[in-house]
Amino acid sequence: MFARVPGVVRVFYKGCVWRKKSKEKSIYLTFDDGPVPEVTPLVLDMLDEYGWKATFFCVGENVQKYPELYNEILRRGHRTGNHTFNHLKGFSTGVEEYVENVRKASVHIHSNLFRPPHGRLRQRQKNTLQPDYEIIMWDLLTCDYDKSLTPEQIINKVKRFSRNGSIVLFHDSIKAKNNMLAVLPRAIEFWNEQGYKSEIF
């Protein structure tokens, strides 16, 4: 899995946001697949400890199950985005079904931000969603969900590929929990040492 998607791939996703331009050294920290009670509160507490803000791309059915947790994300000053209702794969889902699933999630997630699960989106899906959503991809994929990777390997990737305006992707999911919680504080400490500040969309 690429830490950074090659430029040739990004060409096919015209109009999507992969990295933000900023005059100051900024990191756009993002989390996918939550909220879940086993992980998201731990992330929120950690972000509070370091004074960092993030954008959480939430799965609609999780928000439906845990509305108080979703509201807690917002209450603590973070931003949210739509990640479909059922974490659908764009390449294996028809356009109408996919867009309808995003609309279903929007009942629970009031945001103009969208990130496709797995970063996969057909052109017609993208074109249909873009009038209503800013589609946020990523500049640095941590692969925290990959259990074959150690926290040390992941933090080394973060240190190597972080740059001004990077959109960094972690997951507040059970699958990614151990790696993410081990790496996140080290990543924030590294960014602080390098003079980066947290930004949200």
Q: How far apart are CA 165 and CA 118, in angstroms?
A: 21
79 inside domain: yes
What pTM does this model have?
A: 0.96
Q: How far is CA 111 from CA 102, 185, 192, in A?
A: 11, 27, 29
24 inside domain: yes
2 inside domain: no
* DSSP symbol at 198: E
Q: Which residue range(s) make up the domain with 121?
A: 7-199
Let me know: does 49 contact 90? Beta carbons within 8 Å.
Answer: no
Tell me the residue ranges of DSSP E strands in 14-114.
Answer: 26-32, 55-58, 79-82, 113-114
Number of domains the chain is built from: 1
From first to last of the 201 residues of the chain, give the pLDDT tens digit: 567 776 667 777 889 999 998 888 999 999 999 999 999 999 999 999 999 999 999 999 999 999 999 999 999 999 999 999 999 999 999 999 999 999 999 999 999 999 999 999 999 999 999 999 999 999 999 999 999 999 999 999 999 999 999 999 999 999 999 999 999 999 999 999 999 999 999
Let me know: does 174 contact 39? Beta carbons within 8 Å.
Answer: yes
- Catalytically active residues are 32, 171
44 inside domain: yes
CATH number for the domain that contains residue 17: 3.20.20.370
179 inside domain: yes
1 inside domain: no
99 inside domain: yes
Closest CA to 171 of 69, 18, 29: 29
47 inside domain: yes
